[in-house]
Amino acid sequence: MRVVRFYAPRDVRVEDAPEPAAGPGELVIRVRNCSLCGTDAKIWGSGHPDLRPPRVLGHEVAGEVVEVGAGAAGWSVGDRVQVIAAIPDGTCHECRQGWQSVCPNQERIGYHHDGGFAELMRVPAKVLAVDGVNRVPEGLSLAEASVAEPLSCVINGQERAGVGEGQTVVVVGAGPIGCLHVRLARARGAARVLLIELSRRRLELAAGLVAPDEAIGAEGADTVAAVRELTGGRGADVIIVAAGSGRAQEDALAMAARRGMVSFFGGLPKDRPTIACDANIVHYREVGIAGANGSSPAHNRQALELIASGAVPVADLITHRLPLEQAVEGIHTVTRGEAIKVTIEG
């Protein structure tokens, strides 16, 4: 079968590999859609400490079961499924609290286990053990189902930041994650959603799809002043920074209303992880800061339901569909910021 394998930064090859077989408690699926994530583009450029090469990339996976391992009860050949990316161990202190997204023993598809940029993918037993395989509802395409994984991370972020009814929410970053944040904030009852983005072209593309109440170009603009003005001086209830920018995180704190929440949804470059935080904003205005690290199996199920019910539509966010052979071109499309969601389709 054909796979897309990472060997080293800037060395990702489309090549032949032996077909996987389902061991005890495992499944093998025929991958129909594996969508590209900003992280795949980062891995292409600089690798990742958790990724041991050679490794088949891809972690936004949906497909059809083609082999059921011994003891993988409840699954049949032909079942349409979506698979989690972050695999918690399900047994540690954090998992027992229900905090699977910060399980210290978390492993990931496409990092520790071969991923979905392949014709076939083995679903490890530890995925099934934590209920990490979800049945795709009738009528939902596997391309849409593959977007459940990034949406599950967005759900985790908005739960942690407490996005809810009547709020003014600012989303910084208009990539696929930013677009999902805009849509989910509306589904959770936000009254106004403002979208901020550095790239004018990307802002136009995203705003055309998700229609924020205001689209604010950050290039050469005072976005803090803009948010203050648009909120009558009060600031925003929640600011979600879906961009790997320390400056954007600092600005987000300055945009927050009293009792507001700031979500550091995107990570910062490993060599520059510190920001200048005005601690008096946090202190006097009682502003909270929430982290976000992936998602739990339950978030994946919830994401699939939100997509299937139409509460968070994603079909129109899939702007590019490419065959496996063109996966590396897909990565470059993501890097150039020309797409919202790119899916590799087989």
Could you list the residues that contact Zn ion (CB under 5 A)?
Answer: 88-89, 92, 95, 103
3-state helix, strand, coil split of the chain in percent (to 5) is: 35, 25, 40
Q: Which residue reads 């601690």 in tokens?
A: 279
| Nearer Cβ to Zn ion (92/308) | 92
Which residue number has the CB closest to Zn ion? 103
**Least Å from the CB of residue 153 to Zn ion:** 17
Nearest Cα to Cα of residue 75 among 86, 87, 63: 63
**Least Å from the CB of residue 47 to Zn ion:** 25
How far is CA 322 from its chain centroid?
19
**Least Å from the CB of residue 297 to Zn ion:** 12
| Nearer Cβ to Zn ion (89/250) | 89
Spatial separation of the C-alpha atoms in residues 32 and 17, rounded to whole Å: 18
Instruction: Locate 321 and state its tokens.
Output: 């569909």
Q: Which residue reads 């520059």 in tokens?
A: 272
- 322, 345 Cβ separation under 8 angstroms: yes
Spatial separation of the C-alpha atoms in residues 290 and 263, rounded to whole Å: 5
**Least Å from the CB of residue 99 to Zn ion:** 8
| Nearer Cβ to Zn ion (95/148) | 95
Nearest Cα to Cα of residue 294 among 135, 88, 121, 122: 88
**Least Å from the CB of residue 334 to Zn ion:** 30
Angstrom distances, CA of residue 181 to CA of 38, 119, 195, 201, 277? 15, 30, 10, 19, 24
| Nearer Cβ to Zn ion (42/299) | 299
| Nearer Cβ to Zn ion (92/328) | 92
| Nearer Cβ to Zn ion (90/137) | 90
**Least Å from the CB of residue 87 to Zn ion:** 10
Instruction: Locate 120 and state its tokens.
Output: 């076939």
Spatial separation of the C-alpha atoms in residues 73 and 247, rounded to whole Å: 49
**Least Å from the CB of residue 23 to Zn ion:** 22
Mutual orientation of helices 148-161 and 176-187 as an angle, nearest 10°? Answer: 60
| Nearer Cβ to Zn ion (33/100) | 100
